Amino acid sequence: IQLTQSPSFLSASVGDRVTITCRASQGISSYLAWYQQKPGTAPNLLIYAASTLQSGVPSRFSGSGSGTEFTLTISSLQPEDFATYYCQQLNSYPYSFGQGTKLEIK
Partner 1 sequence: EVQLVQSGAEVKKPGESLKISCKASGYIFTTYWIGWVRQLPGKGLEWMGIIYPGDSDTKYSPSFQGQVTISADKSISTAYLQWSSLKAPDTAMYYCARRNYYYDSGGHKSLDIWGQGTMVTVSS
36 binds partner 1 (CB under 8 A): no
CA distance 67 to 36: 22
70 scored as a contact of partner 1 (CB under 8 A): no
CB of 14 to partner 1, least distance (A): 25
The neighbour count for residue 50, using CB atoms within 10 Å, is 22
Looking at residue 97, what DSSP letter applies?
A: B
Q: Which stretch binds partner 1 (CB under 8 A): 11-19, 41-49, 62-70, 71-79?
A: 41-49
- Is residue 46 within 8 A of residue 72, CB to CB? The reply is yes
Q: What is the contact surface with partner 1 in residues (CB under 8 A)?
A: 30-31, 33, 35, 37, 42-45, 48-49, 52, 54, 86, 88, 90, 93-100
